[in-house]
Chain A
């Protein structure tokens, strides 16, 4: 597994440049080699091409090279770590955070197909690959909860039912909004304004901010403690998949605003709703057992949002900037 350093070390150092060798390692690693890839490098890699975003065909070709088999993971050591090495406090904090992702992956998998209808042909290739990625990530969490946490159920929904008590009440904010925006797109698949609102919730907020934050918290914990090698491998590979999703999503939003600058209003209005909801928490999550504080998680989310907006060239009006300061850590993703 990658070097054991403090979970929050890079958070305080800020963005860093990746060498060509590091980029080659991330892009070319097979599933077994992903265990030696540093999650901080992968999160940095997400932003690598943000200023000159790759086209959809390039993203699709990357997918073909980077796809991995979720059934190749062996969770036997993770089960030992979970039951014999991790403390109860660590397990509780881990579940409070990871369960949002367990459900988030399922949500982004099923809400994506309608967005493909109104997309260009090359973008359809990228979206179809993304749907397959999200399905694989759903299976990844299903296996983790069955084989490591020990939940039992006849099918995927039974395991989702069993992990739902760990999901915060505020989860319905971004993920309910996405579901309803998906329905709006389903009814009018070529309504570009509805698609931009949907894309803001899905690609900018859920994937660009929430997902990368959860990945960072649980994976840096696993790296720090030297625990959960299959979780680290599969979820780091998931993060590499997310880099394509975030880049494709940011390209979509960037292109939409360049084509019609008035689309920025749709992004702002969507963020206004999201930031109102993100200013509220329903449960207290204890991050300290995983090596984080609530303030550090909040800082992490600010960094993720700020980098996406800056790199893609989306500015916020003063009222939205003020709302960003009130965001509560909501750890979920997809």
Chain B
């Protein structure tokens, strides 16, 4: 079975399942229980939404959190998702690099993904949760045919 196209409805559904499940045991290994306790605490109380834009593709992945899980996860068109708590953007090539294994921490630190709208100090209170989720999203199988065509 071929993987769903990046930023397709099928891919968004797979992202939703992956985020709800959280990092795998393999991902959790090697990090202190204190770190994961913090992750779970943030996840349990997280009530914000992310509009994760893909520059160059004109699409956004809208993710709403609530009650310790993902309550909405869908691909929207240009301009949609502007009411999200945090609007973020990243180039298509950097999304693909994340998918190919580039580190989520450095994706943030090197400003490949940026908060375009939203309170940065509040966003960073959950940054370990966000970077782990970014890693989860990156590992969801996806086809990057648009880049190949471009």
Contacts and interface: CB of A to CB of B under 8 A. Distances in A.
Contacts of A167: 105
A268 B106 CA distance: 27
A184 B131 CA distance: 20
Interface in B92-150: 103, 105-106, 108-111, 114-115, 120-125, 127-128, 131
Contacts of A276: 125
A280 B132 CA distance: 14
A162 to B, nearest CB: 13
Contact of A280 (B103, B123, B124, B128): B128
10 contacts: A107-B109, A169-B31, A172-B128, A173-B124, A180-B115, A277-B128, A280-B38, A281-B34, A283-B31, A284-B32
Contacts of B31: 169, 282-283
Contacts of A171: 105, 109
Interface in A204-240: none
A172 B121 contact: no
B108 A170 contact: no
B32 A176 contact: no
What is the predominant secondary structure among interface residues of chain A facing chain B?
helix
Interface in A122-168: 164, 167
A177 B35 CA distance: 18
A304 interface: no
A176 B115 contact: no
Looking at A167, A170, A176, the one whose CB has the most chain B CB atoms below 10 A away is A176
A175 interface: yes
B121 A270 contact: yes
Contacts of A179: 108-111
A164 B125 CA distance: 23
Looking at B34, B106, B120, B124, the one whose CB has the most chain A CB atoms below 10 A away is B124
Nearest to A280: B38
A172 B109 contact: yes
B120 A184 contact: yes
A169 B128 contact: yes
Nearest to B30: A283
A179 B127 CA distance: 13
A164 B128 contact: no
B109 A181 contact: no
Given A177-B120, A180-B120, A281-B32, A172 B125 contact: no
A255 interface: no
Nearest to A180: B120
Contacts of B105: 167, 169, 171-172, 176
B114 A183 contact: yes
A197 interface: yes
Interface in A11-51: none
Interface in B19-55: 30-32, 34-35, 38
A324 B138 CA distance: 34
Contacts of A280: 34-35, 38, 128
Contacts of A270: 121
